[in-house]
Protein backbone atom coordinates (compact mmCIF):
# COMPACT_ATOMS: atom_id res chain seq x y z
CA UNK A 1 0.00 0.00 0.00
CA UNK A 2 2.83 2.42 0.87
CA UNK A 3 4.50 1.64 -2.48
CA UNK A 4 1.24 2.38 -4.37
CA UNK A 5 0.82 5.67 -2.51
CA UNK A 6 4.42 6.70 -3.30
CA UNK A 7 3.98 5.89 -7.01
CA UNK A 8 0.68 7.80 -7.07
CA UNK A 9 2.31 10.87 -5.47
CA UNK A 10 5.26 10.78 -7.88
CA UNK A 11 3.00 10.42 -10.92
CA UNK A 12 0.76 13.25 -9.69
CA UNK A 13 3.75 15.53 -9.16
CA UNK A 14 5.01 14.72 -12.66
CA UNK A 15 1.59 15.57 -14.14
CA UNK A 16 1.56 18.92 -12.31
CA UNK A 17 5.05 19.78 -13.57
CA UNK A 18 4.04 18.85 -17.13
CA UNK A 19 0.92 21.04 -16.88
CA UNK A 20 3.02 23.93 -15.53
CA UNK A 21 5.53 23.54 -18.37
CA UNK A 22 2.71 23.45 -20.92
CA UNK A 23 1.27 26.71 -19.55
CA UNK A 24 4.72 28.34 -19.68
CA UNK A 25 5.08 27.31 -23.33
CA UNK A 26 1.58 28.62 -24.10
CA UNK A 27 2.29 31.92 -22.35
CA UNK A 28 5.63 32.17 -24.16
CA UNK A 29 3.72 31.83 -27.43
CA UNK A 30 1.38 34.67 -26.44
CA UNK A 31 4.42 36.84 -25.64
CA UNK A 32 5.79 36.21 -29.11
CA UNK A 33 2.39 37.02 -30.67
CA UNK A 34 2.39 40.29 -28.69
CA UNK A 35 5.92 41.18 -29.87
CA UNK A 36 4.99 40.51 -33.50
CA UNK A 37 1.72 42.46 -33.22
CA UNK A 38 3.61 45.50 -31.87
CA UNK A 39 6.09 45.38 -34.74
CA UNK A 40 3.28 44.98 -37.28
CA UNK A 41 1.16 47.69 -35.67
CA UNK A 42 -1.67 45.15 -35.81
CA UNK A 43 -4.66 46.51 -33.83
CA UNK A 44 -6.78 43.38 -34.42
CA UNK A 45 -4.12 41.10 -32.93
CA UNK A 46 -3.42 43.45 -30.02
CA UNK A 47 -7.16 43.56 -29.27
CA UNK A 48 -7.09 39.75 -28.90
CA UNK A 49 -3.99 39.78 -26.69
CA UNK A 50 -4.76 42.42 -24.08
CA UNK A 51 -7.35 42.48 -21.33
CA UNK A 52 -10.18 45.00 -21.28
CA UNK A 53 -8.75 46.06 -17.88
CA UNK A 54 -5.23 46.66 -19.24
CA UNK A 55 -2.89 49.01 -17.35
CA UNK A 56 0.10 49.65 -19.65
CA UNK A 57 2.92 51.60 -18.00
CA UNK A 58 5.71 53.16 -20.07
CA UNK A 59 9.22 53.95 -18.85
CA UNK A 60 8.32 57.65 -19.14
CA UNK A 61 5.67 57.23 -16.45
CA UNK A 62 2.74 57.41 -18.89
CA UNK A 63 0.04 54.83 -18.11
CA UNK A 64 -2.53 53.83 -20.75
CA UNK A 65 -5.74 51.82 -20.74
CA UNK A 66 -6.52 49.28 -23.47
CA UNK A 67 -8.08 51.67 -25.99
CA UNK A 68 -5.33 54.28 -25.62
CA UNK A 69 -2.55 51.68 -25.76
CA UNK A 70 -3.88 50.12 -28.98
CA UNK A 71 -4.53 53.51 -30.57
CA UNK A 72 -1.02 54.75 -29.77
CA UNK A 73 0.72 51.47 -30.65
CA UNK A 74 -0.89 51.43 -34.10
CA UNK A 75 -0.91 55.17 -34.89
CA UNK A 76 2.24 55.08 -37.04
CA UNK A 77 3.64 58.01 -35.02
CA UNK A 78 5.72 55.41 -33.20
CA UNK A 79 6.72 52.39 -35.28
CA UNK A 80 8.48 49.43 -33.70
CA UNK A 81 11.00 48.17 -36.25
CA UNK A 82 12.57 45.50 -34.03
CA UNK A 83 12.18 44.22 -30.48
CA UNK A 84 14.95 42.04 -29.03
CA UNK A 85 14.05 40.21 -25.81
CA UNK A 86 16.57 38.68 -23.41
CA UNK A 87 16.70 37.28 -19.87
CA UNK A 88 13.01 36.34 -20.07
CA UNK A 89 11.69 34.71 -16.89
CA UNK A 90 8.17 33.28 -16.61
CA UNK A 91 6.41 32.41 -13.38
CA UNK A 92 2.88 31.03 -13.24
CA UNK A 93 0.63 30.85 -10.20
CA UNK A 94 -2.88 29.64 -10.95
CA UNK A 95 -4.41 31.91 -13.59
CA UNK A 96 -1.70 34.59 -13.28
CA UNK A 97 1.58 34.65 -15.17
CA UNK A 98 4.38 37.10 -14.43
CA UNK A 99 7.02 37.76 -17.05
CA UNK A 100 10.20 39.73 -16.45
CA UNK A 101 12.56 40.52 -19.28
CA UNK A 102 15.06 42.90 -20.77
CA UNK A 103 13.97 44.40 -24.09
CA UNK A 104 15.87 46.44 -26.64
CA UNK A 105 13.32 48.30 -28.76
CA UNK A 106 14.19 49.90 -32.08
CA UNK A 107 11.60 52.55 -32.90
CA UNK A 108 10.94 55.22 -35.48
CA UNK A 109 9.22 58.09 -33.70
CA UNK A 110 7.80 60.72 -36.05
CA UNK A 111 10.46 59.76 -38.61
CA UNK A 112 13.36 59.75 -36.12
CA UNK A 113 15.12 56.48 -35.18
CA UNK A 114 15.64 55.69 -31.53
CA UNK A 115 16.54 52.77 -29.26
CA UNK A 116 15.03 52.04 -25.87
CA UNK A 117 16.79 49.67 -23.50
CA UNK A 118 14.13 48.56 -21.00
CA UNK A 119 13.48 46.22 -18.13
CA UNK A 120 9.87 45.10 -18.25
CA UNK A 121 7.42 43.25 -16.07
CA UNK A 122 4.20 41.96 -17.58
CA UNK A 123 1.27 40.40 -15.74
CA UNK A 124 -0.85 38.02 -17.78
CA UNK A 125 -4.13 36.49 -16.63
CA UNK A 126 -5.89 33.48 -18.03
CA UNK A 127 -9.32 34.71 -19.16
CA UNK A 128 -11.77 32.37 -20.87
CA UNK A 129 -8.93 29.89 -21.47
CA UNK A 130 -6.49 32.40 -23.03
CA UNK A 131 -3.56 34.33 -21.59
CA UNK A 132 -4.37 38.05 -21.75
CA UNK A 133 -2.02 40.92 -20.90
CA UNK A 134 -3.45 42.56 -17.77
CA UNK A 135 -0.60 44.89 -16.78
CA UNK A 136 2.80 45.98 -18.00
CA UNK A 137 5.41 48.29 -16.52
CA UNK A 138 8.76 49.21 -18.01
CA UNK A 139 11.72 51.14 -16.69
CA UNK A 140 14.84 52.25 -18.51
CA UNK A 141 17.72 49.86 -17.97
CA UNK A 142 20.41 51.59 -15.90
CA UNK A 143 23.64 52.35 -17.73
CA UNK A 144 26.65 50.43 -16.39
CA UNK A 145 29.00 52.57 -14.28
pLDDT digits (tens, 9 = 90+) for 69-105: 999 999 988 899 999 999 999 999 999 999 999 999 9
pLDDT: which is higher, 13 or 76: 76
Please state, in angstroms and rounded to a whole number, the distance separating the CA atoms of residues 111 and 129: 40
pLDDT at 130 over 60: yes
pLDDT: which is higher, 76 or 49: 49
Band (22; pLDDT cuts 50, 70, 90): confident
pTM of the model: 0.84
pLDDT at 57 over 50: yes
pLDDT at 1 over 60: no
Band (4; pLDDT cuts 50, 70, 90): low
DSSP 25-68: HHHHHHHHHHHHHHHHT-HHHHHHHEEEEEEEE-TTS-EE-HHH
Please state, in angstroms and rounded to a whole number, the distance separating the CA atoms of residues 43 and 28: 20
CB burial class (10 A; 0-12, 13-18, 19+) of residue 16? exposed
The pLDDT score that the predictor gives to residue 113 is 94
pLDDT at 15 over 90: no
pLDDT: which is higher, 16 or 76: 76
For the ranges 1-5, 36-40, 138-142, the lowest mean pLDDT is seen at: 1-5
pLDDT in tens, 26-38: 999 999 999 999 9
Amino acid sequence: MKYFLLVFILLSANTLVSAQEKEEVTLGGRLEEFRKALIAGDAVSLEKLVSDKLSYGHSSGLVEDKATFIKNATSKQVVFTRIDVSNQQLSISGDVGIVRMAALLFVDENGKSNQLNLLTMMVWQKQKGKWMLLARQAVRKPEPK
